[in-house]
Amino acid sequence: MTVQSHDLIVASFALWAGDWGYLDRLIEENLPKDKSEKRDGFEDLFSRLKKSQLNRYKKKRDLFIKERGLTKYPILETDHIRSTIWYVSDFEYCMKGYLKDLSWERHFFDHIHPKSDYEISKKLKMEIPRFSTVWKTGNHGNCITRIDDIGLIDSTFYICNFDSQKRQQCAGDHFKDILTKFQDGIPRSMTIELKRHSV
């Protein structure tokens, strides 16, 4: 099995989002099963992970998780997008989303830019330049979502409610609404349990 550059890019996105569970899965899937398996160039990255390097990654990851008291984290996932949700402070939540399937990138960007821009670009037979996009959503514009030119979604939701469960539920529902805008299926909620590695 040859590592695809697709997996390397998605792994870097998962690392940015703090999606340790998905990153672990990508690393495990891409480690060579046979030491004699030969790989070339850029795609050789995972195969060059020596046991000591992999153990170093696992130790750093476990230290990060332990220091933050992290045992699990919530995920929202559509057919092609995956995102983590983080508690920032009592009145602030953050969603970090990324494309887990890069073949869907064109459709993703089609849902970000206004339809009129897309029609103009079709007539002129030219690509729309990818610029960062900012959306303000929520009843009082209390959610700011930034989407950069490589498709990373960084969304911050502010809420003033003294009931922590209601705050968390409201933030999760709002982040689902944002992912729905990409018309990529109904966002599914799940919780990723983090396991300590034996090194």
DSSP single-letter state for residue 132: -
- The helix/strand/coil state of 197 is coil
- The helix/strand/coil state of 178 is helix
What six digits make up the tokens of 86? 């983080």
Least confident stretch, 13-22, 116-125, 164-173, 190-199: 116-125
- The helix/strand/coil state of 57 is helix
Confidence of residue 2 (pLDDT cuts 50, 70, 90): very low
Average pLDDT of the chain, as a whole number:
78
Q: Residue 22 in contact with residue 100, Cβ under 8 Å? A: yes
Measure the CA–CA gap between 166 and 154, rounded to whole angstroms. Answer: 22
Q: State residue 36 phi and psi, 5-degree precision.
A: -85, -5
Cross-strand bridge partners of residue 83 = 76, 97
- For the cut 90, the answer to whether the pLDDT of residue 195 exceeds it is no
Read off the pTM.
Answer: 0.75
Percent composition of the chain: helix, strand, coil (DSSP 3-state, to 5): 40, 25, 35
Confidence of residue 173 (pLDDT cuts 50, 70, 90): very high
Q: Which residue has the higher pLDDT, 91 or 2?
A: 91
- For the cut 80, the answer to whether the pLDDT of residue 64 exceeds it is no
Q: What is residue 194's predicted lDDT score, i.e. its pLDDT? A: 72
Q: Which of 16, 91, 20, 104 is nearest to 62 (CA)?
A: 20
163 burial (CB, 10 Å; 0-12 / 13-18 / 19+) is: exposed
